[in-house]
Chains A and B, each alone.
Chain A
Amino acid sequence: GQQLNQSPQSMFIQEGEDVSMNCTSSSIFNTWLWYKQDPGEGPVLLIALYKAGELTSNGRLTAQFGITRKDSFLNISASIPSDVGIYFCAGQPPYTSGTYKYIFGTGTRLKVLA
Chain B
Amino acid sequence: SAVISQKPSRDICQRGTSLTIQCQVDSQVTMMFWYRQQPGQSLTLIATANQGSEATYESGFVIDKFPISRPNLTFSTLTVSNMSPEDSSIYLCSVEERNGIYIQYFGAGTRLSVL
Contact = CB atoms under 8 A, between A and B. Distances in A.
B105 A48 contact: no
Contacts of B107: 42
A43 B31 contact: no
22 contacts: A31-B101, A31-B102, A40-B108, A40-B111, A41-B108, A42-B4, A42-B106, A42-B107, A42-B109, A43-B92, A44-B106, A45-B104, A48-B101, A88-B43, A99-B56, A100-B96, A101-B45, A105-B42, A106-B41, A106-B42, A107-B41, A107-B42
Interface of B: 1, 4, 6, 31, 33, 41-45, 48, 56, 92, 96, 100-109, 111
A42 B93 CA distance: 9
Interface in A29-51: 31, 33, 35, 40-45, 48, 50
A104 interface: yes
A33 B106 contact: no
Given A31-B103, A41-B108, A90-B104, 10 more contacts: A31-B102, A41-B109, A42-B92, A42-B109, A45-B104, A50-B101, A88-B43, A101-B45, A102-B104, A107-B41
Interface in A1-58: 31, 33, 35, 40-45, 48, 50
B103 A45 contact: yes
B68 to A, nearest CB: 15
Interface string A74-114: 00000000000000101010000101111011110000000
A105 B44 CA distance: 10
A99 B31 contact: yes
Contacts of A35: 106
A105 B42 CA distance: 7
Interface class of chain B by DSSP: strand
Contacts of B42: 88, 104-107
Nearest to A38: B108
Nearest to A50: B101
A88 B37 CA distance: 12
A104 B41 CA distance: 10
A33 B104 contact: yes
Given A99-B56, A101-B48, A92 B43 contact: no
